[in-house]
Every structure is written in C-alpha cells, then in structure tokens.
C-alpha cells in the first residue's frame, strides 16, 4: 500500500486544490485515478484538505439549513492557540526539512480594519464639491469624526443626536462627535430640536452652545465671526465671557489677534443670508433634471460605442416586464436581451429611473454573451443590501471550468473576481455595514493587451494584478456564453441588492473612461 | 424506547455525523464550489426520508448513500462540471471515501498534532491559505515570493502533513492493539 507516491499525481492533486485544473489536467488526473493506489492517494489528499479546512476555518460553514442547533462539539476556530505545546511526533523529520525554506518570509499584519462609528450623515446636497483633503463623503453614508471640506455647493447633514446643519461652500467643519463640531470657516445654518439640544460648535473665537434653536454662523478665515439667531436662544462663550443671544439677535465677533483685542458687537439677525434646508430642496429638485439630462447623454455614448456588447439601463423592458432589452444601438457584435426571473422593478438611483431588485433565492437575470473577447469591461451601478451568503453572486458565467468569469462578494465584504484556473483578484476595500443600501459603481477590466486585470470602485482603482496565465486556449470558445446576474445555478448565493445599469464592453476601458462612466449620472 | 422527538433524534444524528458526511461530499466533488449546497440538500433529503431510517442501524452509511445519490444527480445536471471522476470510477472512489471517512475525527486530531509541529513560517502559509482562504497569487504577493514558490511550498507542506498524519494514525492503531 505505501508505495512511493507518484510525483505527477501529487502535482495534479495539489493543483486541484490550489488553482483548479484545466480540462487537459482533469483528463490526466482521471487517467491516474484508474489505478487503485492512486485512488487511495486521492482519498488521503481529499481528507487532508477537509481536515485542514475544518481545523483552520475562521467560521464553521457546516449549516443544517432549517435545523438550527448548536454543533454537538465545538470545532476549532483557527489553530493558532493550539501550537503552544511541544510533543514529539512521528513524521517530524519531513517537516523540519522544509523549515529552512520559510525563514526569510516577511511578517505582515493581516488584521482587517474596523468600521469606525458614524456621528452624522449627509442627507441632501446640491452641486457639492468636496475637498479630497477632508473626509470622503458619500450622500447617505455615515460620516465618522473628521473634517468635512466643502469647496462649493450646499450640503445638509444630520447629526445622529438630532441636529440638522446646512453648510455653504467654501466651508470646513470638523465633526468631533454626534453633538459637537469645530467650525473652521465658511457659512453654516443649523436647527436643533428641543429634544436634541446641547449641540456645541467651537471656533477660534469662542464656543456656541445651542439651547434648542435655529441659528447661522458666518466665519471668515481671519477668525471674524457672526452669529445670527433666528429662533430660540444660544449661549456664546469665550474665556471669561458668556453672552446669551435671543431670537432676532446677532453678534459680530472680531478675532483675538486684532490690535484692539477681541471685541463683540450686537447687530440685527439676517435670516436671508443663510441657506437652509428649503433652499437645498428647491435646488435639489432642479438638479434632478440636470442629472437626468447628464445620464441620458452618457447613455447615448454607451449605446453607440462599437465595443458595447450589452447594455441594460433597466428602463426599456419587453412584454410582461420579464425581458430586459439590450439598449445597444449599433448593429455590430452584441448580445441578446436578458430574461428576468423573479426580481422586482423598483425606484433606482436617480429620481424617475428604474432599477432591478434581487431578493429571493430564485431572483436572477439570464443572458447570453456570444463571441470571444480577449479583453473586456464589466461595469454596473449596484447596491448591496446585505451579504447573506458565503458567496453573494454578482456576475457568473454558467459552469465552473477553465476561463469561467465569476464575480461575487464574499461574506467578509471583499469583492472577488475569478477566472477559474486563472487569476483571482480580491478587492482591497470591503463592503461594510456603511456601504449597505448605498449605490456604488463597480467596474472591472480584463486587459489582455497590457496583461492586467483591474477593479474599480466608484470610479477609482481599488485593486489590480498582472495576468500571468496564458491567453484562453481556444479562441472559438465564447468568453462568457450563458451568464447569470445576481445568482448562480441552484446554489444559495443569490444577491441581496439592486442593479441599476449594467454594461459589458469588448475592450478594457482606461481608468479615465471608468471614472467618466462612474460620473455619468452619478448621484451627486 | 424513544428519547426526545423524532426531530431531536434527527438533529442529534446529523450533528454526530456531519463532519464525516461533509468530508464525504467534499471528496466526491473536489472541484466544485457547491459542497455546502450539496450538504444542505442532502440534509433536507435526509430529513424528508428520515422515516425510512431504521433506528439503531448505521446512520452514517445510510446518510452517505443518500449523499452519493445527491452528488450523482448534481453531476448529471452539471455535465460540464462532472470533474475528475468518470462515471465508471465514481462508485469505486465513493466506496473508498466512505470507508476512509470513518476515521475523519481521528485524522483531524492527528492533523492538529502535526500542525503544532510545523515551523512558524509553514503555519503562516497554511493559515493564509486555509484560515484566510487566500488564493495562492495573493499569498505570493503578500510574502513577496513567486506563485511557483508558494505552490511548491504548499505541496511540500501537504506531503509532510500527510505522512505525519498517516504515521500518527498507524502508531495509534498499533498502540491500541488490533481492532475488530
């Protein structure tokens, strides 16, 4: 029985578990396995693989479906802790022999970054241009403590403790907590409900404590400030001084650095000088139209691009709403329409635009993309509402064979792009709790000319890696063929989320083109 | 004598044998990412047919027969993904796996002991591959080694672990004396 293992067989078995086998290798392995000793070797390998997965897995993946009961015996969660003892064992010689090979490995911390706690959220904005030097801002996404730099435009933010604040660019505000901020410069107007009073805004020339009110502050970069109270009252405080301001009153404060020292002067409040939520709403409604126009213009570009194979805008549907019309306008190589299984049409990311909602295990879109495409781009507006499964399907070609294109989101939030037996690219960014329910532009390119695969999130490069594998062996094999969106076969990996625009092009878009695509009709 | 409800008996049996059953299915579909789904489907069928099961008989054998049929159906519906076993070989290999999985818990114990003896760097590699489930390319990039080197090292570690596990099992069997 203990014959020396066949090196070729071992090589194939290792390949099977590390990168998948090509069709030719599969055939070779099948050939080996006619031999009974090879079968034994295979079985040992398979069980080792299983034990390693069981022992090392950070989460235990055995589920009993509907039968939810605790495991009879808790399984190991990582084996690190178990390495303390040193017992003599058989077979150690072989292990020691390979030890030397590892001595030079660099150590790298591999702990995931924790999600920081949000303190406020941007709830509305008009033409807001945010400075890259400040916090990354996304409407509707939680804001963590840090500085907001608004170059121009208007933005409304809601503190988690109930205060609403409108910033008028150029302005900068440092969020310190869910009821405190440091105002650096610009113009703000804030409304604090009685129940949420206690908002503190500090600035170079003192501190404002809100007592349930509505007020505006104008602060220039020299430190000159004006506080206007429109409703209720506030307290202004600076070393040794404290003043109360009532409705209709305003206070002009000169900075401490002026020759005469700091001075305060009472002036009448000017309600019209500060933009509030009403103004934002009016402007935002006008902006909806502009967005739609911008989107329509971008849409025409995609439709007429000769490289576009498939373009779903989710606006044009066939009979019974079960067919997604491929909106490509040219007569060149293009895919057919998509078939909607399950799924519901819902309001999309732009006012008046549709999206497709994937929720139930059966929900999916089926389509066929013919032709061989050495390079390609897949791009979509997508909204994840939850990561329910170990793998959450995004785009999958049918089957799982050499060259298959698979894109899914793993339970840990990383986006994985797989070409079976070839490259696997994993996103740097993780889809976290803050991203759920948010629209995101996701695009990835397979650039066969430059031999690189790249993933872009919201228009910027997130991860890329060189293509090291040889080009697809048979150019007559379709690169995609049958494709499913939001699901894969009968397995439990259906997407919980929405799609709004989906496009496949037969060339790798440049980073600039991806950025432009992500800006087309982007929500604010 | 019945202890607990039928459902409780079922859950208890499945929990006792789940690791073996999972290993059995996984070994039968090495290339497929559908192992968990197949396991789940099998569990569902086991419950549906639980009335056919004779209490006191070999539950694992019964469950593996059903699992084997599930995998066979799965192979039929995924023609292109039939994998590395031809239909002729499928049953022969399934028989061998069924027997080998009897020792799945002992193998795991042995493996834990063997892992303990691995040098730290080899452990790190195993951890990257199996705990973090990173693809070889990512590991290679992290460790600044070529893919080829990482493939080779993983192969060496597996080979070492396999002989270690087998030696340990053999030692244990002989220490425990001949088994029935």
In this predicted model, what pLDDT tens digit does every residue of A317-333 receive, in sequence order? 666 667 888 888 887 77
Contacts of B19 in chain A (CB under 8 A): 54, 62, 75
- H helices of A319-417, where? none
Place of tokens 């402007």: A283
pLDDT tens digits, B143-164: 888 888 889 889 989 998 999 9
Tokens of B32: 């497929």
Helix axes B147-175, A36-56, angle to 10 degrees: 100
Task: Write the pLDDT tens digit of every residue in B28-42.
Answer: 988 777 788 888 888
C-beta neighbour count of A259 within 10 angstroms: 5
| 3-class DSSP assignment, residue B170 | helix
Give the per-residue pLDDT at A58.
Answer: 54
E strand or H helix that includes residue A393: strand A391-397
Token look-up 């070729």 returns A8
A 10 A CB-CB count for A100 gives: 10
What is the DSSP secondary-structure string of B76-140? Answer: HHTGGG-TT--HHHHHHHHHHHHHHGGGHHHHHHHHHHHHHTS-HHHHHHHIIIIIS---HHHHH
In this structure, how many other beta carbons lie within 10 angstroms of the beta carbon of residue A2? 9
Bridge partners of A243, per DSSP, are A236
Q: CB contact, 8 Å: B140 with chain A?
A: no
Cβ-defined contact of B163 to A400 (cutoff 8 Å): no
- CA-CA distance, A124 to A285, in Å (whole number)? 11
CB contact under 8 A, A14 and B171: no
List chain A residues with CB under 8 Å of B111. Answer: 48, 51-52, 55
Give the burial class of A28: count Cβ atoms within 10 A of its Cβ; 0-12 exposed, 13-18 middle, 19 or more buried: middle
Distance from C-alpha of B74 to C-alpha of A314, rounded to nearest angstrom? 34
Q: Return the H-helix or E-strand segment holding A282.
A: helix A277-304
**B-chain residues within 8 Å CB-CB of A106?**
143-144
Q: Give the pLDDT confidence score for residue A71 in this predicted structure.
A: 29
First and final CA of chain A: distance in angstroms? 69
Confidence at residue B82, expressed as pLDDT on a 0 to 100 scale: 58
Q: Tell whether the model's pLDDT for residue A86 goes beyond 50.
A: no
Residue B142 and residue A91: Cβ atoms within 8 Å?
no
Neighbours of A1 (CB within 10 A): 5
Closest A-chain CA to B36: A62
Percent of chain A with pLDDT over 70: 81
Contact A43, B96 (CB under 8 A): yes
Task: Measure CB to CB from residue B162 to each of A44, A61, A79 and give the nearest one.
Answer: A44
Query: In chain A, what residues touch B162 (CB-CB under 8 Å)?
Result: 44-45, 48
How far CA A220 is from CA of A17, A146, A226, A236, in Å, comes to: 63, 20, 9, 17
| A18 contacts chain B (CB < 8 A) | yes
Flag if B131 and A57 touch (Cβ within 8 Å). Answer: yes
A20 backbone φψ class: left, alpha, beta (φ>0; ψ -120 to 50): left
Contact A19 B138 (CB under 8 A): no
Mean pLDDT of A163-191: 90
Q: Is the ipTM of this complex over 0.90?
A: yes
- CB pairs A-B closer than 8 Å: 257
Give the up-direction half-sphere exposure of residue A85: CA atoms within 13 A in the CB hemisphere.
Answer: 8
Residue among A360, A399, A378 at smallest CA distance from A486: A360
Question: What dihedral do alpha carbons A495, A497, A501, A505 form, nearest 10°?
Answer: -30
Q: Are strands A424-430 and A364-369 parallel, antiparallel or unpaired?
A: unpaired
- Cis omega before residue A372 (within 30°)? no
pLDDT at A500 over 50: yes
Q: Give the CA dihedral A74, A80, A84, A87, nearest 10 degrees.
A: 80
Q: Which of A141-150, A287-296, B11-20 has the lowest mean pLDDT?
A: A287-296
Instruction: List the single residue in B with minimal CA-CA distance to A18.
Output: B136
Shortest Cα distance, chain B CAs vs residue A35, angstroms: 10
For residues B36 and A389, give the distance between their C-alpha atoms in angstroms, rounded to a whole number.
Answer: 11
Q: Which residues of A touch B94 (CB under 8 A)?
A: none
- With b for 16 or more beta-carbon neighbours within 10 A and e for fewer, the A370-383 pattern comes to eeebebbbbbbbbb
**Interface probe, candidates B16, B122, B159, chain A, greatest A C-beta count within 10 A:** B159
List the structure tokens of B56: 């006191």
Q: What pLDDT, on the 0 to 100 scale, is given for residue B1?
A: 41
Percent above pLDDT 90 for chain B: 18
**Residues 147 through 176 of chain B touching chain A, CB cutoff 8 Å:** 147, 151, 153-168, 171
Contact residues on chain A for B134, CB-CB shorter than 8 A: 426
Q: Is A377 helix (H, G, I), strand (E, B) or coil?
A: strand
Task: Say if residue A499's pLDDT is above 60.
Answer: yes
CA pair distance A394, A409, nearest whole angstrom: 7
Tell me whether strands A200-203 and A180-191 are parallel, antiparallel or unpaired: parallel
Classified as helix, coil or strand, A38 is helix
- Average pLDDT (A295-310) is 89
Residues of chain B neighbouring A26 (CB-CB closer than 8 A): 31, 83-84
Q: What is the pLDDT of residues A215-236, one digit of tens each?
A: 999 999 888 899 999 988 888 8
| Record: contact B36-A76, CB cut-off 8 A | no
**Among A107-121, A288-302, B103-117, where is mean pLDDT lowest?**
A107-121
Better pLDDT: A92 or A262: A262
> Tokens 């009979």 appear where?
A319
Q: Does B61 touch chain A (CB under 8 A)?
A: no
Instruction: Output the pLDDT for position A96.
Output: 35
Q: Which SS3 state, helix, strand or coil, does residue A154 take?
A: strand
Minimal CA separation from A460 to chain B, in Å: 21
**pLDDT tens digits along A422-435:** 678 999 899 887 78
Distance from CA of A414 to the nearest CA of B (A): 11
Distance in angstroms (rounded) separating the CA atoms of residues A75 and A64: 15
Q: What phi and psi values does residue A242 have, to the nearest 5 degrees?
A: -150, 125
Interface contact B106, partner A, CB < 8 A: no
Contacts of B93 in chain A (CB under 8 A): 33, 39, 42-43
Better pLDDT: B94 or B177:
B94
CA distance A226 to A232: 17
The answer, yes or no, to whether residue A54 has pLDDT greater than 60, is yes
Interface test with chain A among B46, B67, B104, B111, by most A beta carbons within 10 Å: B111
Torsion of CA B89, B93, B95, B96, to 10 degrees: 150
Q: Inspect the interface and report whether the beta carbons of B84 and A26 lie closer than 8 Å.
A: yes
Could you give the CA distance from residue A202 to residue A399 in angstroms, rounded to a whole number? 60
- For A393-428, the pLDDT digits (tens) are 999 888 766 678 889 998 889 999 988 666 789 998
**In whole numbers, what is the pLDDT of chain A averaged over residues?**
78
Beta carbons of A10 and B155 less than 8 Å apart: yes
Residue A241: pLDDT band (50, 70, 90) is confident
Evaluate the CA torsion angle A10, A15, A16, A22 in order and state its sign.
Answer: negative
**pLDDT reported for residue A443:** 96
In a mutational test of the B interface, the residue from A79, A389, A393, A428 whose CB has the highest number of chain B CBs within 10 Å is: A79
List chain B residues with CB under 8 Å of A89. Answer: 113-114, 117, 164, 167-168
Please give the residue of chain B at the shortest CA–CA distance from A65. Answer: B40
Could you tell me which residue, A435 or A357, shows the higher pLDDT? Answer: A357
Q: How many Å apart are CA B86 and CA A34, to the nearest integer?
A: 9
A324 backbone dihedrals φ, ψ, rounded to 5°: -100, 120
């Amino acid at each position: 029985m203990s014959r020396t293992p066949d090196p070729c067989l071992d090589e194939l078995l290792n390949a099977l578990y590390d990168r998948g086998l090509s069709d030719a290798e599969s055939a070779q392995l099948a050939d080996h396995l006619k031999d009974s000793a090879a079968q034994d070797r295979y079985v040992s390998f398979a069980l080792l693989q299983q034990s390693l997965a069981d022992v090392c897995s950070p989460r235990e993946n055995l589920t009993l479906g509907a039968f939810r009961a605790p495991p009879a015996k808790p399984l190991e969660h990582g084996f690190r802790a178990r390495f303390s003892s040193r017992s003599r064992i058989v077979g150690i010689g072989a292990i020691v022999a390979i030890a030397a090979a590892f001595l030079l490995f660099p150590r790298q911390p591999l702990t995931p970054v924790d999600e920081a706690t949000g303190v406020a959220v941007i709830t509305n904005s008009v033409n807001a241009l945010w400075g890259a030097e400040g916090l990354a801002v996304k409407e509707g996404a939680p804001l963590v403590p840090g500085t907001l730099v608004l170059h121009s435009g208007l933005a409304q933010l809601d503190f988690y403790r109930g205060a609403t604040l409108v910033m008028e660019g150029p302005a900068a505000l440092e969020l310190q907590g869910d009821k405190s901020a440091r105002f650096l410069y610009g113009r703000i107007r804030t409304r604090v409900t009685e129940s949420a009073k206690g908002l503190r805004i500090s600035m170079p020339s003192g501190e404002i404590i809100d007592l349930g009110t509505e007020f505006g502050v104008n602060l220039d970069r020299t430190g000159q400030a004006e506080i206007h109270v429109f409703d209720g009252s506030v307290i202004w405080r600076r070393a040794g001084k404290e003043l109360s301001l009532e409705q209709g009153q305003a206070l002009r404060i000169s900075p401490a650095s002026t020759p005469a020292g700091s001075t305060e002067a009472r002036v009448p409040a000017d309600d019209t000088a500060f933009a509030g939520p009403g103004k934002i709403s009016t402007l935002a409604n006008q902006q909806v139209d502009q967005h739609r126009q911008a989107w329509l213009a971008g849409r025409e570009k995609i439709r007429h691009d000769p490289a576009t194979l498939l373009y779903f805008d989710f606006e044009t549907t066939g009979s019974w709403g079960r067919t997604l019309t491929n909106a490509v306008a040219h007569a060149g190589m293009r895919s057919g329409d998509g078939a909607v299984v399950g799924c519901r049409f819902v309001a999309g990311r732009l006012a008046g635009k549709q999206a497709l909602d994937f929720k139930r295990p059966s929900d999916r879109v089926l389509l066929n993309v013919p032709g061989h495409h050495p390079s390609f781009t897949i791009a979509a507006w997508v909204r994840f509402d939850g990561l329910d499964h170990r793998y959450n399907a995004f785009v999958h070609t049918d089957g799982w064979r050499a060259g298959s294109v698979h894109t899914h989101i793993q339970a840990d939030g990383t986006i994985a792009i797989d070409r079976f037996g070839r490259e696997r690219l994993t996103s740097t960014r993780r889809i976290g709790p803050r991203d759920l329910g948010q629209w995101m532009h996701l695009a990835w390119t397979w650039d066969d000319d430059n031999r690189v695969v790249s993933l872009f999130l919201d228009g910027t490069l997130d991860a890329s890696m060189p293509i090291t594998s040889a080009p697809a062996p048979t150019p007559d094999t379709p690169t995609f063929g049958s494709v499913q969106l939001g699901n894969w076969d009968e397995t439990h990996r259906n997407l919980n989320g929405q799609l709004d625009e989906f496009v496949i092009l037969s060339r790798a878009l440049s980073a600039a083109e991806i950025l432009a695509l992500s800006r087309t009709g982007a929500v604010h | 004598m019945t202890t607990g409800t039928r459902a409780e008996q079922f859950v208890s049996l499945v929990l006792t044998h789940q690791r073996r059953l999972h290993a059995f299915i996984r070994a039968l579909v090495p290339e497929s990412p559908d192992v968990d789904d197949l396991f789940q489907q099998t569990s569902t069928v086991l419950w549906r047919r639980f009335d056919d099961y004779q209490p006191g008989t070999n539950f694992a054998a019964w469950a593996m027969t059903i699992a084997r049929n599930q995998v066979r159906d799965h192979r039929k519906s995924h023609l292109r993904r039939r994998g590395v076993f031809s239909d002729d070989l499928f049953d022969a290999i399934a028989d061998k796996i069924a027997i080998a999985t009897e020792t799945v818990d002992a193998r795991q114990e042995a493996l834990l002991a063997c892992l303990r003896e691995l040098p730290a760097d080899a452990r790190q590699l195993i951890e990257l591959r199996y705990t973090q489930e990173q693809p070889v390319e990512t590991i290679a990039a992290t460790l600044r080694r070529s893919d080829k080197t990482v493939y080779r090292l993983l192969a060496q570690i597996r080979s070492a672990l396999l002989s270690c596990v087998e030696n340990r099992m053999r030692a244990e069997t002989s220490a425990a004396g001949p088994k029935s």
